[in-house]
């Protein structure tokens, strides 16, 4: 998109924002393009964005992020509110790694070695479809985000001897190790090759779904070794979707907002290698000129789904709103919504319970 087209789209967006005022809320995830973040009313991590959507009185919430995030906002929306997404094709590798049919199959197979209904509580990362969240909610389980995984897993183990964490095996493993759950109590469920021998699952306290984020798996232990060699004194901060071998070598681990706060609050002159999506890392570098900030990866990984949303897509969705035309509507069927809402409500409950 040329500068002229960018400017034209930004002007259109500004006009609609002025016209609609409080009726419109534009949310952007930290991985969005700079030009999207610049026109958003609020940018945040996935937990902050869902909280902001739930607290909003706006008639239209336009979600610049990926589909599961907009869907989560739609589940939380009040009557009369409508969530819109500028790119309906903005998916997520993790969310695509589990569907309800696979989950039902796993549930049934695991029932051969445990009383799933009484003993196994599912916890779903928000990076899942509404249908998967609904399954989890119907079984009494909860959702979590990267910044609430610790609290939700603690909450789940207070209520159940076993937990089924999905779909991000690495977030599950990293959280388990922070909570002191030993390796021998963890079993990995591969939905594409369901195991014949379920003895390991019979003993497991934590069952992990074999999913991972294609962006965060790119960071490797040798990247940490390389930056430490090349930049003595460097600090390494990574997202918990990274491999446990990488997290073990890092100085800090946390959600996108945690990473931003950590870098921002560090003393001038600090050198940071950051293990997360490159648009965030590049923005962090530009916003912290008194520090040296760069990607842990070489080459730095981008989330292609997050990159899909361009200013022209946002302008197109907003252009319809003054006449009441809702392009990019995100709908969640009522029968799915109730269960998914229950799972999300239990996430807030777990966060509150942790004080």
Of 243, 226, 263, the C-alpha closest to 30 is 263
Q: Which does 46 bind (CB under 5 to 8 A by kind): ligand SF4, ligand 13P, none?
A: ligand 13P
Which span (1-9, 92-100, 108-116, 159-167) binds ligand SF4, by CB under 6 A? 92-100
Closer of 47 and 103 to ligand 13P (Cβ):
47
Q: Which does 45 bind (CB under 5 to 8 A by kind): ligand 13P, ligand SF4, none?
A: ligand 13P
Q: What sign does the CA torsion over 12, 14, 18, 22 have?
A: positive
CB of 255 to ligand 13P, least distance (A): 3
CA distance 209 to 240: 16
With b for 16 or more beta-carbon neighbours within 10 A and e for fewer, the 316-337 pattern comes to ebbbebeeeeebbebebeeebb
| DSSP label at residue 215 | T
By CB under 6 A, the residues from 102 to 161 that bind ligand SF4 are 127
- Phi/psi for 249 (5° steps) reads -90, -10
Residues that bind ligand 13P in the complex, under the rule CB under 6 A: 45-46, 127, 145-147, 213, 239, 241, 255-256
CB of 281 to ligand SF4, least distance (A): 12
- Cα 126 from chain centroid? 6
SS3 315: helix
| CA–CA distances in Å: residue 22 to residues 26, 31, 70, 188, 337 | 11, 25, 19, 47, 26
- Phi/psi for 235 (5° steps) reads -105, 140
Closer of 157 and 305 to ligand SF4 (Cβ):
305
Which span (17-25, 36-44, 210-218, 283-291) binds ligand SF4, by CB under 6 A? 210-218
| CA–CA distances in Å: residue 152 to residues 41, 157, 233, 339 | 29, 9, 34, 17
Q: Is 71 in the site for ligand SF4 (CB under 6 A)?
A: no
Which span (81-89, 91-99, 191-199, 344-352) binds ligand SF4, by CB under 6 A? 91-99
CB of 109 to ligand 13P, least distance (A): 28
Of 256, 263, 222, the C-alpha closest to 241 is 256
CB of 326 to ligand 13P, least distance (A): 25
Q: Is 280 in the site for ligand SF4 (CB under 6 A)?
A: no
| DSSP label at residue 329 | B
Closer of 93 and 209 to ligand SF4 (Cβ):
93
Q: Which does 114 bind (CB under 5 to 8 A by kind): ligand 13P, ligand SF4, none?
A: none
Q: Is 94 in the site for ligand SF4 (CB under 6 A)?
A: yes
**Strand ranges inside the chain, DSSP E:** 24-29, 42-44, 60-64, 82-84, 120-125, 142-144, 162-166, 186-189, 206-209, 235-238, 252-253, 271-275, 292-295
Q: Which does 306 bind (CB under 5 to 8 A by kind): ligand 13P, ligand SF4, none?
A: ligand SF4
By CB under 6 A, the residues from 283 to 322 that bind ligand SF4 are 303, 305-306
One-letter-per-residue 3-state SS of 128-147: CCHHHHHHHHHCCCEEECCC
Q: Which does 256 bind (CB under 5 to 8 A by kind): ligand 13P, ligand SF4, none?
A: ligand 13P
| Residues in contact with ligand SF4, shown as a per-residue x/- string from 211 to 230 under the rule CB under 6 A | --xxx---------------
Radius of gyration for the chain, computed over Cα atoms and rounded to the nearest angstrom: 21
CB of 58 to ligand 13P, least distance (A): 21
CB of 69 to ligand SF4, least distance (A): 8
Binding site for ligand SF4 (CB under 6 A): 66, 92-94, 127, 213-215, 241, 277, 303, 305-306
């Amino acid at each position: 998109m040329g500068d002229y087209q960018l400017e034209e789209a930004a002007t259109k967006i500004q006009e609609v924002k002025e016209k609609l005022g409080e009726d419109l809320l534009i949310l952007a995830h930290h991985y969005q393009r700079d030009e999207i973040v610049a026109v958003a009313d609020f940018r945040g991590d996935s937990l902050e964005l869902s909280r902001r959507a739930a607290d909003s009185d706006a008639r239209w919430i336009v979600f610049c992020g990926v589909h599961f995030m907009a869907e989560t906002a739609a589940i939380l929306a009040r009557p009369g509110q409508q969530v819109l997404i500028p790119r309906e094709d903005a998916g997520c590798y993790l969310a695509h790694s589990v569907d309800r049919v696979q989950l039902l199959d796993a549930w049934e197979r695991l029932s051969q070695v445990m009383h799933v209904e009484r003993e196994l509580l599912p916890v779903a990362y928000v990076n899942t479809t509404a249908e998967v969240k609904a399954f989890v909610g119907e079984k009494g389980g909860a959702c979590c985000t990267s910044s609430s995984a610790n609290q939700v897993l603690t909450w789940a183990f207070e209520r159940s001897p076993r937990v089924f964490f999905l779909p991000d095996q690495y977030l599950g493993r990293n959280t388990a190790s922070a909570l002191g759950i030993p390796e021998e109590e963890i079993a990995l469920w591969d939905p594409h090759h369901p195991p014949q021998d379920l003895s390991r699952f019979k003993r497991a306290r934590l069952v992990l779904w074999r999913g991972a984020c294609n962006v965060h798996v790119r960071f490797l232990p040798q990247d940490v070794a390389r930056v430490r060699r090349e930049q003595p004194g460097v600090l390494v901060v990574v997202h918990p979707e990274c491999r446990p071998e990488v997290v073990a070598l890092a100085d800090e681990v946390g959600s996108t907002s945690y990473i931003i706060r950590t870098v921002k609050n560090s003393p001038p002159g600090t050198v940071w290698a950051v293990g997360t999506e490159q648009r965030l890392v590049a923005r962090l570098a530009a916003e912290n000129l008194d520090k040296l900030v760069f990607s842990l990866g070489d080459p730095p990984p981008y989330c292609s789904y997050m990159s899909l949303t361009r200013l022209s897509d946002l302008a197109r969705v907003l252009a319809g709103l003054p006449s009441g035309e809702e392009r990019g509507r995100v709908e969640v069927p009522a029968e799915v919504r109730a269960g998914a809402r229950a799972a999300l409500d239990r996430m807030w409950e777990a966060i509150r319970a942790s004080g």
